[in-house]
């Protein structure tokens, strides 16, 4: 008598009857659920920022540390490095250039005094908001940064002369360009922050390089000549002022001496006049005048040469010549 083949489901049930599926199956399902739930743990390292999305919508950002989000596909997380300072080149190519899809091009600008220059600069930047950096702008970060800086360069360089941007206005220009470029990035809600901007070189086009160098050399010579003239002026003028003050002091001293001498002479004359007036009352006027004459001659004669002639004898002139040296 032929046996009828059994039901496969019954055979399976019979094979696992001893395992007590009513207990094992829920345990297995619970274990799978626990493992699935544990996939929601994630760690954000220092210098990073996590962006959590729920069904594609950003719901929060997380700082460094251990965090939990609902497992996929409910929630997902993307971690972005925000502490790293990145570099982008403007008008030049750095050795560490990593964006082969975007090769920098030369930046040729027209200055306020209608001179053509090529600008080479380096921009330092970092991510300040990971969520905006990931999802606000669907564009290459370096190209966006490049376009923002070039726009700021065009606006600023067109307002200043080439001499100013090469010398006195260079530092101020770098700060203004950084501010203007950051304003553009904020308008795009890019999540990027420029931390530094440095103009590495401002060079003329190849066609006018020689003439440009001649102008620079002439400018340097001019500044050198001006500095030499100022140095000479600073050395000569104080010396001349010192001599002038010395001459003025000497003149003032001489003036004081002359005035005092004149005052002394005047006082002596007044004293003599007083004495003369007294003597006139006591003696005759001729005697007083003769005495004054003798006193004056005593003062004057010692300072001059004198010749004394003797008396005539027996019709002949006998001359005794006596010479007195000037004292």
Residues 6+ apart with CB under 8 A from 133: 80, 127, 141, 190, 191, 192
- pLDDT of residue 231 exceeding 50, the answer is yes
- pLDDT of residue 307 exceeding 80, the answer is no
Helix then strand count (H, E) for the chain reads 8, 13
Q: How far is CA 23 from CA 17, 32, 37, 114, in A?
A: 12, 15, 22, 88
pLDDT band at 263 (very low <50, low <70, confident <90, very high): confident
Cα separation of 34 and 28, whole Å? 10
CB count in 10 Å sphere of residue 119: 23
Calculated CA dihedral for residues 114, 115, 116, 118, nearest 10 degrees: -130
Pick the closest to residue 195 from 185, 187, 209, 207 (CA basis).
185
Spatial contact of 180 and 155, defined as CB atoms under 8 Å apart: yes
All structural domains of the chain, each given as residue ranges with its CATH number in brackets, are 8-81 (no CATH), 86-203 (3.30.479.30), 283-324 (no CATH)
Task: Choose the weakest-confidence range: 139-148, 246-255, 273-282.
Answer: 273-282
Q: Which structure tokens are listed for 276?
A: 């003369």
- Name beta bridge partners: 306: 324
Q: What are phi and psi of 154, to 5 degrees?
A: -60, -45
128-184 per-position pLDDT tens digit: 888 888 888 887 888 888 889 999 998 888 888 877 777 778 888 888 999 999 999
Pick the closest to residue 148 from 182, 116, 108 (CA basis).
182
Cα separation of 50 and 43, whole Å? 9
Residues 6+ apart with CB under 8 A from 76: 52, 53, 69
Mean pLDDT score, 18-33:
68
Cα separation of 170 and 153, whole Å? 12
Q: What percent of the chain has pLDDT over 90?
A: 9
Spatial contact of 133 and 169, defined as CB atoms under 8 Å apart: no
**pLDDT higher at 124 or 26:** 124
């Amino acid at each position: 008598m032929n046996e009828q083949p059994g039901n496969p489901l019954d055979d399976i049930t019979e094979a696992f009857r001893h395992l007590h599926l009513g207990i094992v199956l829920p345990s297995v399902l619970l274990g799978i659920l626990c493992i699935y739930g544990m996939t929601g743990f994630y760690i954000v390292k220092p210098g990073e920022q996590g962006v959590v999305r729920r069904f594609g919508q950003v719901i929060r950002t997380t700082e460094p540390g251990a965090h939990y989000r609902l497992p996929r596909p409910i929630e997902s997380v993307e971690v972005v490095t925000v502490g790293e300072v990145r570099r982008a080149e403007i008008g030049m190519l750095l050795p560490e250039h990593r964006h082969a899809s975007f090769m920098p091009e030369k930046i040729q600008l027209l200055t306020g005094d209608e001179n053509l220059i090529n600008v080479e600069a380096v921009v330092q930047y970092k991510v300040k908001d990971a969520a905006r950096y990931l999802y606000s702008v669907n564009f290459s970060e370096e190209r966006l940064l490049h376009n923002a800086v070039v726009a700021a360069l065009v606006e600023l360089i067109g307002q200043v002369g080439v001499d100013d941007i090469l010398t006195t206005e260079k530092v101020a220009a770098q700060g203004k360009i950084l501010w203007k470029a950051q304003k553009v990035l904020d308008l795009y809600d890019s999540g990027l922050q420029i931390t530094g901007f440095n103009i590495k070189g401002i060079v003329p086009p190849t066609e006018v390089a020689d003439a440009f160098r001649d102008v620079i050399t002439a400018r340097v010579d001019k500044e050198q000549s001006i500095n030499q003239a100022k140095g000479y002026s600073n050395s000569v003028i104080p010396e001349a002022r010192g001599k002038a003050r010395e001459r003025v002091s000497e003149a003032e001293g001489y003036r004081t001496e002359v005035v005092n001498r004149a005052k002394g002479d005047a006082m002596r004359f007044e004293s003599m006049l007083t004495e003369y007036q007294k003597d006139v009352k006591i003696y005759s006027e001729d005697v007083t005048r003769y005495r004054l004459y003798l006193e004056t001659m005593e003062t004057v004669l010692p300072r001059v040469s004198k010749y004394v002639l003797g008396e005539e004898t027996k019709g002949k002139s006998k001359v005794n010549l006596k010479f007195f040296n000037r004292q």
